[in-house]
Amino acid sequence: DQQVKQNSPSLSVQEGRISILNCDYTNSMFDYFLWYKKYPAEGPTFLISISSIKDKNEDGRFTVFLNKSAKHLSLHIVPSQPGDSAVYFCAPPPTGNTGKLIFGQGTTLQVKP
């Protein structure tokens, strides 16, 4: 049972333009969502989160939008920079008290100079 789905395995944008990465989820009871960024041969690093009581959270060039009715969240990067080229994962919190943390399949973003 895939709790989150990132249906676009890859995305390519021009430097300076907007990058939009999408994530769909199934459980409407999630309290928050996390986005992680991963460079090749490195571990992922936390990027930004959004609480389920909000519909937007902004941190510099990164903004995450949450559409609860559609069970959809998106990460916007504006303006995109070549250093943003990485794999981006969305993740819901663990369900119940299991501590089991599951990630989406990831979207590989390439920002072209």
Q: Which helix (H) or strand (E) holds 14?
A: strand 10-14
Q: Is 31 in the site for another protein (CB under 8 A)?
A: yes
Q: Is 85 in the site for another protein (CB under 8 A)?
A: no
Question: Cα–Cα distance between 6 and 89 in angstroms, integer?
Answer: 8
Q: Is 93 in the site for another protein (CB under 8 A)?
A: yes
* Cα distance between the two ends of the chain: 38
Q: Near another protein by CB under 8 A, which window of 54-62, 65-73, 75-83, 95-103?
A: 95-103
- Tell me the residue length of the chain: 113
Q: Which of 22, 95, 105, 110 binds another protein (CB under 8 A)?
A: 105
CB 33 within 8 A of CB 49: yes
Residues that bind another protein (CB under 8 A): 6, 9, 31-32, 34, 36, 41-46, 49, 51, 89, 91, 93-94, 98-106
